[in-house]
Amino acid sequence: MATGVTATLLAGSLLSGCQTESAVNREPHTGATTASASGGVQDVQITTDQRYRFSPSTITVHPGRVRITLKHVGTGAPHDWSLQGFPADYVALVSPGESRSVEFVAPSPGTYKFICTIHVQQGQTGTLVVLAN
């Protein structure tokens, strides 16, 4: 009997040791949108909150001017938005109830990663897809 209990406990602890990501890192990334154009600028609003995720997490744009507005709709820590590899394409920290924007020219067609520089380790990332003309 003791051997069976020991084996069960050992198997349980080994299986729990396989889980290397925290619960917040396992939260799904949701939502996708295509920017809407107005006055020659493609507008996208991204929301964030205490779950360390962007919504939508996938954004599709065309070549040209893009305005990203980051709105904090939750509680807790502030968040920012940064397009990796393009340091000027950055939205400064927004606290709960605040929003800020950045306007930039979309990079060459391709797929790019955006992050919250504070919470990238918690998986707060997304994808910007720039279509060809």
Domain count for the chain, please give it.
1
Residue 10: predicted pLDDT: 42
Using DSSP's 3-state secondary structure scheme, residue 122 falls into helix
What is the residue range of 87's domain?
Answer: 23-130
Split at pLDDT 50, 70, 90, the class of 31 is confident
Question: 74: number of CA atoms within 13 Å, CB side?
Answer: 16
Instruction: Say if CB 60 and CB 35 are below 8 A apart.
Output: yes
The pTM assigned to this predicted structure is: 0.79
| Residue 92 belongs to domain with CATH number | 2.60.40.420
Bridge-based pairing state of the strands 41-48 and 65-72: parallel
Split at pLDDT 50, 70, 90, the class of 14 is very low
Does residue 46 sit within a domain? yes
Average pLDDT over residues 115-127: 97
Does residue 113 sit within a domain? yes
Task: Please state the φ and ψ torsions of residue 59, each to the nearest 5 degrees.
Answer: -125, 130
Residue 27: predicted pLDDT: 67
37/57: higher pLDDT: 57
